[in-house]
Structure 1
C-alpha cells in the first residue's frame, strides 16, 4: 500500500509540472503532428545491485550483476511521454540469518528476474526552458508502476508489484539517434520471499521490502526522426486566415488612400508652381508631403519581420523620397494592446520600426539622415479595431 501511495503522489506531481510547463507561454504550444510521430525504441546495458540490509552488511559491491533493458515509447509533446520497459538479469543476496545456515556464515541466494514497467516521462530540460528543436541535451524524469517476475530456489514463478523512479540523460546525435545514460531504482516486496511456501525458507533475509538500483547506457532510435510542430487549432487557423485577408484588404485600401492623397498634393502643387521659384516649389512640395504623407506596413501577430507583400509599400516610399529630396520621414512602430505585456509590446514596436528603417536604408537606398524611427508600444492605438494596430506608420515629419 505504501508503494502504491508513493507512486500515485509522484505521478500527480509530475503531471502537474507537465501542465505548468505547457501553459507558461500560451502563445507557444507544440505537439506530435500525427500519432505515429515521435515513437522510439531504446536498448541499454549496464549493472544493477540488489538493495537489502543483508547485502550492505556483506558488501554491496559483491552483488553487482549485469543488466539489459529494452524500451518502446512515444513523446506526446516536448514535455511528456509514455514508455514501456522490460529489464532484468539476475539478483543476488548474501545473508547470515541463522535459520538458513549453520555457523553464522553468509549464504548466497540468486534469482533470475524480469521487470516490466510502464513509465510516465517528464522532460526536465524543456520544463525549465522553452523547447528548442536544435537542443542536443535532454534530462528526463520517469516513474511508474510495474510487475516483477522471478523464481526463488527454482520454485514456482512469483509475480510482484513494484514501483520505480529514475533519471535519464540523453545526447541527440541527430533527429533519429540519441545516446542514453539512465539511473533507476525499483521498490518492491523482497525477491527472496514468497507466500506460496512455508517453513524456514519463507524469507531469506531480514526485510520484506527490498529494491534494485541500476545504471545503464544505451541508444535510442526515433522512427521518422523527432518531429514536433507548433500547435494551432482549426478555429485559430481559420481566424488567422481571415485576419490575413482583412489585413490585405486594409493594406490595399490604405495604399489607395495614400495614392489619392499624393495625387491631391501633386494637384495643389501644380496649381501654384507657375507663381513659385524652384526653391519655393521644392519647399512647398516638402511641406505638403510632411503634413499629409502617410504609409502603412502591416505585421503578423508578435512578429517584427516585414512580409514580402509589404515591400511594395517601402518601394513606393523610397521612390517618393527620391523624387522629393527635401522630404524627411519618421517610422513609427505600434503593437496591439490585447496581446502581450506593456514591456513586450514596447520592445516589439521598436523592433518593427527598426526593421522598416533598416530596409529603407539598406535595401531601398534612402539616406539615413532623412529617416528616424521610434516605437510607441501599445500605449498609443491608432485604430479602434485591435488587430489593425499591428503596424508601422511612415509619416512625413511635421
Structure 2
C-alpha cells in the first residue's frame, strides 16, 4: 500500500490530499541483455522491461490538514502497468534494483483533475536490494564428449574401410587347409546410467536392463553387475554405498520386472575407486556383463 499526495488550488488556497491505495499485478519480464548477448553469470548490468495486469484499490482520500475523508472509499478497479527495471550486480549474493513504472487505473484520487475521467495514470519510481540465499551458482553439465564421439566415428569409418577391403577377397581358398571355427561364448555388455546422487533407474534406462535380461535368457549366460560412482561428487564412503545401491537396483529390476533368477546374478560395487570412463559424469553407472 502507498500514500500518494495530490494538490488542488480552489479559491486561491493550496490544499493537499492524502490518497491511500494498494495495487497488485502479474507481470511479464524480459531480460534484454541475456537475450541478445551470451549468458554470463557475472554480468553486472541487466535491462528488463515488463508489463502487467492486476487490480487497484483506493482505500480512502483525506484532507491532509484536517484529516477529513473525502469522496468514495474502497474503490476497486482493474490495473494495467508497465515499466523498466535496471538490475546491477553488487556481489555474488546482492543485486541493486532501480525500477520505474506507469500504472493505469480508475483510482479516483481526490484532488486530481481526472477524478471523473475513465482512467488515471500514476508514475512510480522505486529502488531496492535483492539478497540471494542458498545456492547461487549453476552447475555446469557436459551432456556429450564431442572429442570422444568424433574419435568413435573415426574408428567406425576405419572399420568400414577394412570391411570393404576384406569383402574383395575370394569366398573360398581350395589350397588352404580347413580350420575348425573356434567356438567362443560372446560377452554382452550394457550400461545403466543414473542421475547425480541417485540409485533410481530412470525410465529411459530400463531398455538396457531389458536387453540384458533377454540376452541372458537367449544365451544362457550369467549376469555380472558392477556399480560405480563419480569421484568428483560426495566422498569415498558415500560413493561406495551409492554404487552398491545402484548395483542392487539393477538386480532388483532384472528379478522383479523381467523374471531373471536371483541365482543367475552376481553383483559387485567399486564406489569411486574405479572410474571406467574418462568423463567424470559418465561414471554414475552400473555396468552389466553377460558371460
Which TM bucket (shorter chain)?
0.3 to 0.5
More helix as a share of residues: 1
Q: When the two structures are superposed, what TM-score results if normalisation uses the length of structure 2?
A: 0.40
